[in-house]
Structure 1
Amino acid sequence: MDTLSSDIGRQEHSLKEFMPITAKTCVFRQAIGPCAYDCVKLTVIRDGSAILCSQLGKQPVTIGDVVLLCSNTLCAAEPEDRCTVSTILIDTDYMIDHMFWKHAGLLSDRLEAKDLIAKLYLEPAQVLRLGVQRLEVIEPWLDELARLSARCRYANRFNRIQALWFLIADVISPFIKVSPVRLSRYQRERLRPSTPRHRRFVPLRSEAMQAAQLLRGDLAHHWTIRELADQVHLSVPQFSRVFTESYGKTPMAYLTMLRIEELARLLRETDLPVEYAIEAVGWHSMSYTIRVFRAYVGITPGVYRRNHNTVV
């Protein structure tokens, strides 16, 4: 009975712990699928061979091949005798974050990163022919990643798990087919609130710090660029340039970000009605707030409250 209880406890613990990167090595002797995952799936063929059935049609895979499946892509596989594979599952939001930071100089936020991924990876299923030599390079990393995944201690081994994934991805990524997309420095938008925050690492001007403090100190005030510029004794064009260089976004975009963060806190930590919380941060239009909040957080204020409110 005690053993059963401890097994159940371990299972419950593993279910509770979310792991954006997880890996597993297994041998299969019978047909699998068709099935789809709401994540990116990488399957490395380490021994044996199989027939893959997906949007690619029927295709043989063997030692040294990697099957890349985008999220929600149906795929089935039938081994020829038996097949040993290592499978890595990667959360799509995690991939979006990495795409954002890879092109942080050109993209304004995660929404643009998501759009870029959709344009780059038009093929939902790919077979990457790494070969045996490259497989031998990544096999120790696959084994360690699988061991760490089985222990379900993602937070404790966060850096090592990420490091292993980066090492594997560095070998695999040159084989991934992507669509030609022209990126330009003019793509960056500074008017949209973004997270993580854009900024160059330069010393903050005292005028920018003073203006940011004014905004944080009174979110509900109807601030204008001219009023802020007057407060810090700069012309409007000069103030806009100084502030944007310091914080990576315009003063009004920065104010929007602060208001959304405060609104999210009020929705999480208080029982203030949504409309009153919106007014408390300086907005008076419910439709505008819903549109901006959804663009920044991904869901409406009402849904955010239901999912995250901690007030009993």
Structure 2
Amino acid sequence: MHAATYGQASSAEPPGPLAYRPIVTRSRTVHRTIAPVAYDCVELIFVRDGSAILLSEFGEQPVTVGDVVVLGANILCGGEPEGSITVTTLYLDRDYVIDQVFWQHAAILADRWEAQDFADELYSEPAQILHLGEHRAGMLMPWLDELVALSLAGPLPDRFYRLQALLFAVLDVVTPYVKTTAVRRSPTQRKATRSGSPSLHQFAPLRGEARQAVQLLRERPEQRWTLQELAAAVHLSPSQLGRVFVDAYGKTPMTYLSTLRAERLARLLRETDMPVEAAMREVGWHTRGHAARLFRQAAGVTPTRYRQLSREPHTAAGNCPHTTKRTLSA
């Protein structure tokens, strides 16, 4: 089956920097080896025709019609078609995915940061091959074709709910096959925190230097990084690293570091009795006022208030969640 069967769906690459779009779908036929690349998004790759040998964190594995490849954000994957392979790929923005996890498990999660931790534990295998079978996968093809058509049509707010409905219909079939890890959670207060502006992810292959810089920041967020030190570590000039990093992650390295520190501080405030100032130092902030300002920018409240909110009992049953939001923004 050739990609032309799907009409315009044969567009080969993810979209460029158009507008913020949390769901993008493309179909393509591949005849040549695909070098390993990583995207800053969650990918679901549906094999429609042909076969290939894929190489990722699951090792070297064959895929054929009826298989679905699930890749977490920033997971390298390449492949060699056995003749040719036709696939449809769903690119899902990370923040959008975490938002769905949060609302699915809102009764036991405090906020979207905790949802991120929860998702990391629940989906501990970031690269999986799901064997749906040709018949079951074939049932999804009309939905995937419509998703492709809607994506190619560009940003259409009036059709977003149709786009989302199609995505949920596909996920309803796929998710029972996804391997998960048992996660234990005691009930915590349901609340929402003010989220930042959506990052302008381009769904383009990530430069190796950008991935290396992120790995350094995530491994040692407590280090007193400067842009010059980080750039030297990945063998780029500061200006080059800035451009590469913003292209990959939609924010500067230092902004990314602040967000990372805020996430880790929130976890320490939720899960430990460590004094606030000690927790700030633990994540790399050594000035209380500076740390409180950056944390408030990310969470909408001060670290002290965040700890109080994370330990308050549940609101009364039936309360509208907007009540909690007003309390947080007060």
Deviation at 1:156, TM superposition (A): 2.7
The equivalent residue for 2:296 is 292
Partner of 2:189: 188
Could you tell me the TM-score, scaled by structure 2's length? Answer: 0.56
Q: Distance in 2 between matches of 1:102 and 1:74?
A: 28
What does the per-residue CA deviation read over 1:221-280, in whole Å, with 9 as the maximum and x for residues that have no partner?
Answer: xxxxxxxxxxxxxxxxxxxxxxxxxxxxxxxxxxxxxxxxxxxxxxxxxxxxxxxxxxxx
Distance of 2:156 and 2:115 partners within structure 1: 25
- Give the letter aligned to residue 93 of structure 1: D
Of 173, 178, 187, which residue of structure 1 is paired with 2:180?
Answer: 178
Separation in 2, partners of 1:62, 1:145: 22
Where do residues 105-144 of structure 1 align in structure 2 (5 Å cutoff)? 105-144=107-146
- Among all aligned residue pairs of Structure 1 and Structure 2, give the percentage whose two residues are the same amino acid: 44
- In 2, Cα distance between equivalents of 1:82 and 1:287: 53
Q: Is the 8 A contact 2:193 2:299 kept in 1?
A: no
Offset of 1:189 from its aligned partner? 6.5
Q: How does 1:74-223 map to 2 (within 5 A)?
A: 74-185=76-187, 187-188=188-189, 194-195=193-194
The TM-score normalised by the length of structure 1 is: 0.59
**1:133-186 alpha-carbon deviations (Å, 9 max, x no partner):** 21121110000000100110332311010001000000000000111101322x
Contact 1:45-1:64 at 8 Å conserved across structures: yes
Question: 2:54·2:80 contact (CA, 8 Å) conserved in 1?
Answer: yes
CA contact (8 A) 1:110 1:195 kept: no
Corresponding residue SS for 2:183: coil
- Check whether the contact 1:69–1:126 (CA below 8 A) recurs between aligned residues: yes
Letter in 2 for 1:288: A
Alpha-carbon distance in structure 1 between the residues aligned to 2:17 and 2:290: 37
Contact 1:51 1:59 survives alignment (8 Å) = yes
**Counterpart secondary structure, 1:123:** coil
**Residues 286 and 125 (structure 1), Cα distance of their counterparts in 2 relative to 1, 3 Å cut:** closer
- Residue identity matched to 1:122: S
Native 8 Å contact 1:14 1:152 kept in 2: no
Contact 1:64 1:129 in 2 (8 A): yes
Task: Return the offset for 1:82.
Answer: 0.8
Q: What secondary structure is seen at the aligned counterpart in 2 of 1:116?
A: helix
Equivalent residue letter for 2:63: V
What SS does the aligned partner of 1:127 have? Answer: strand
CA shift at 1:286, angstroms? Answer: 4.8
Give the whole-Å Cα distance in 2 for the aligned partners of 1:178 and 1:78. 28
For these two proteins, the number of residue pairs brought into alignment is 195
Matched, 1:40 2:42: yes
State the Cα deviation string for residues 184-235 of structure 1 (Å, max 9, x = none). 22x3376xx6248xxxxxxxxxxxxxxxxxxxxxxxxxxxxxxxxxxxxxxx
Aligned partners of 1:154 and 1:161 also within 8 Å: no
Question: In 2, distance between residues paired with 1:69 and 1:130?
Answer: 16
CA 1:296–1:178 in 2, change beyond 3 Å: closer, same or farther? Answer: farther
In 2, distance between residues paired with 1:154 and 1:42? 22
CA offset digits 1:289-309 (Å, max 9, x no partner):
322322349xxxxxxxxxxxx
- Note if contact 1:29-1:83 (Cα within 8 Å) is conserved in structure 2: yes
Query: Quick one: which amino acid aligns to residue 189 of structure 2?
Result: R
Asked if 1 retains the 8 angstrom alpha-carbon contact of 2:67 and 2:131, the reply is yes
Distance 1:14 1:124 in 2: 25
Distance 1:62 1:14, change over 3 A: closer
Structure 1: unaligned runs, 5 residues or longer? 1-12, 197-283, 298-312
The CA deviation at 1:108 is 1.3
CA RMSD of aligned residues (A): 2.1
CA distance in structure 2 between the partners assigned to 1:294 and 1:164 by the alignment: 32
C-alpha distance in 1 between matches for 2:37 and 2:16: 22
**3-state secondary structure, aligned to 1:157:** helix
The structure with the largest alpha-carbon Rg is 1
